[in-house]
Amino acid sequence: MTATNKAVFLDRDGVLNAEIGHYVWRPEEFQVLPDVPAALQRLHAAGYRLIVVTNQAGIAKGLYTRTDMDACHQKLQQACGGLIDAFYFAPGHPSVSQSLSRKPDSLMLEKAMARFGVDAAQCWLVGDRARDLQAAAKVGVRAILVGHEEPLTYEPRVENLAAATDLILGIGSV
Residue 85 annotated in active site: no
Residue 34 has φ and ψ, to the nearest 5°, of -60, -35
Q: Catalytic one among 11, 105, 128, 132?
A: 11
| CA–CA dist 63, 33 (Å, integer) | 24
Q: Count CB neighbours of 78 within 10 A.
A: 11
| CA–CA dist 117, 70 (Å, integer) | 25
Planar angle of CA 28, 31, 158, nearest 5 degrees: 165
| CA–CA dist 23, 41 (Å, integer) | 27
Give the chain's length. Answer: 174
Residue 13 annotated in active site: yes
Q: Which residues of 105-136 are buried (b: 16+ CB within 10 A; e: fewer)?
A: bbbbbbebbeebebeeebbbbbbbbebbbebb
Label residue 100 exposed, middle or buried (CB < 10 Å: 0-12, 13-18, 19+): exposed
Catalytic residues: 11, 13
